[in-house]
Amino acid sequence: MEDQEMHLKVRRVSDKFTESMYVLANEPSVALYRLQEHVRRSLPELVQHKTDMQNWEEQSQGAIYTVEYACSAVKSMTNSSFYFKNIDGLLRQAISWKEQSANSQGRRLHDVTPPPSSLVSAPHAPPTSS
C-alpha cells in the first residue's frame, strides 16, 4: 500500500511540476521574450528584402519612364508624317523650279555667249626636260 501511496504522491508532484512548467512556459513575459528573439533574428533579413524591393521599384520606375517616353516619341513621329510629306512636296517643287530656272538661264546664256571654243584658249603643255 505504501507503494501505491508513494506512486500517487510522485504522480501528484509530477503533475504539479508539469503544470508549473506549462504556466511558466506560457507566461506573457516569456512569450514577449520569445517574440523579441524572433524579431531580432529575422529583422536583418527583412530589412535586406525591403531594401532590395525598393531598389527594384526604382529600377522599374526608371524603365517604365523610359518606355513611356519612347512610346511618346514614336507617336510623335507617326503624327509628324503629315509634315514630312509636306516638306517632301515642297522640296520636290523647289528642285523643279531650280531645274526650270537653270534650263531657262542656260538658254539665255546660249543665245548671248559665243561658242566655247572661242572663249577658251588651248592649254599649254608643260615643258619637258630631256
**Would 91 be classed as within a structural domain?**
yes
In a domain, 124, yes or no: no
Residue 130: inside a domain:
no
In a domain, 57, yes or no: yes
DSSP 1: -
Tell me whether residue 61 is in a domain.
Answer: yes
The CA-based dihedral angle spanning residues 68, 73, 78, 82, taken in that order and rounded to the nearest 10 degrees = 140
Find out whether 17 and 23 touch, Cβ atoms under 8 Å: no
Could you tell me if residue 11 is inside a domain? no
Q: So what's the pLDDT on residue 106?
A: 75
Range of the domain at 74: 17-101
User: Does any domain span residue 6?
Assistant: no
89-105 per-position pLDDT tens digit:
999 999 999 999 988 88
Q: What total of structural domains would you count in the chain?
A: 1
In a domain, 120, yes or no: no
Q: Show Cβ contacts of residue 119 under 8 Å, excluding neighbours closer than 6 positions.
A: 113
Question: Which DSSP category does 122 fall into?
Answer: P
Segments of the chain with pLDDT less than 50: 118-122, 130
DSSP, collapsed to helix, strand or coil, labels residue 123 as coil
List helix spans (H) across the chain. 2-25, 28-79, 81-112, 116-119
Tell me what pLDDT residue 75 has.
87
Question: For residue 130, what pLDDT is reported?
Answer: 46
Q: Are 119 and 113 in contact (CB under 8 A)?
A: yes
